A = this chain, B = another copy of it.
Amino acid sequence: VSVRAAVAHGAHDLRVEEVDEQPLGRGEVEVRPLIGGICGSDLHYFNDGAVGDFALREPMVLGHELVAEVVRAEAADAPAPGTLVAIDPSRPCRRCERCRAGAPNLCTEVRFLGSAARFPHVQGGFRERLVVGREQVVPLPDGLEPETAAFAEPLAVAIHAVGRAGALLGKDVLVTGAGPIGLLVVLAAARAGAASITVSDLHPTPLARAREVGATATVDAREPVAAGLADVAFEASGSPAALESCVRALRPGGRIVAIGMGGGKLPSVGGPLVAREIELVGSFRFTAAEFRTSVRELAAGIGVRPLLSGSFALDDALEAFETASRPDATKVQLAF
Most buried by B among A240, A252, A258: A252
Contacts of A262 in B (CB 8 A): 270-271
Cβ of A94 and Cβ of B94 under 8 Å apart?
Answer: yes
CA distance A243 to B274 in the complex (A): 13
In the assembled complex, how far is the CB of residue A215 from the closest CB belonging to chain B, in whole angstroms? 15
Cβ of B253 and Cβ of A106 under 8 Å apart?
Answer: yes
Cβ of B280 and Cβ of A280 under 8 Å apart?
Answer: yes
In the assembled complex, how far is the CB of residue A156 from the closest CB belonging to chain B, in whole angstroms? 10
Within 8 A of B (CB), among A245-263: 251-253, 258-263
CA distance A282 to B52 in the complex (A): 28
Interface size class of A (residues with CB under 8 A): 35 or more
Residues 284-317 of A, flagged 1 when their CB comes within 8 A of B and 0 if not, give 1001111001001100100000000000000000
A18 contacts chain B at the CB level, 8 A cutoff? no
CA distance A163 to B168 in the complex (A): 9
Cβ of B264 and Cβ of A270 under 8 Å apart?
Answer: yes
Cβ of A169 and Cβ of B188 under 8 Å apart?
Answer: yes
CA distance A293 to B276 in the complex (A): 22
A278 contacts chain B at the CB level, 8 A cutoff? yes
Contacts of A251 in B (CB 8 A): 97
Cβ of A103 and Cβ of B252 under 8 Å apart?
Answer: yes
CA distance A106 to B274 in the complex (A): 10
Residues 227-239 of A, flagged 1 when their CB comes within 8 A of B and 0 if not, give 0000000000010
A23 contacts chain B at the CB level, 8 A cutoff? no
Point out the residue from B258, B287, B296 that lies within 8 Å of A100, measured CB to CB. B287
In the assembled complex, how far is the CB of residue A239 from the closest CB belonging to chain B, in whole angstroms? 10
Cβ of A238 and Cβ of B103 under 8 Å apart?
Answer: no
A72 contacts chain B at the CB level, 8 A cutoff? no
CA distance A335 to B209 in the complex (A): 44
Cβ of A261 and Cβ of B274 under 8 Å apart?
Answer: yes
CA distance A258 to B188 in the complex (A): 28
CA distance A97 to B169 in the complex (A): 17
In the assembled complex, how far is the CB of residue A271 from the closest CB belonging to chain B, in whole angstroms? 5
Contacts of A101 in B (CB 8 A): 102, 253, 287, 289
Contacts of A169 in B (CB 8 A): 159, 162-163, 168, 188, 191-192, 293
Query: Which residues on A are within 8 Å of B, measured CB to CB?
Result: 52, 94-95, 97-98, 100-106, 108, 135, 159, 162-164, 166-170, 188, 191-193, 195, 238, 240, 243, 251-253, 258-271, 273-284, 287-290, 293, 296-297, 300
A-B contacts, 25 of them at CB < 8 A, read: A94-B94, A98-B253, A100-B289, A102-B102, A102-B103, A105-B277, A106-B276, A108-B252, A163-B167, A169-B192, A170-B290, A170-B293, A193-B193, A195-B296, A195-B297, A195-B300, A258-B270, A258-B273, A259-B274, A261-B274, A262-B270, A276-B282, A277-B284, A278-B281, A279-B280
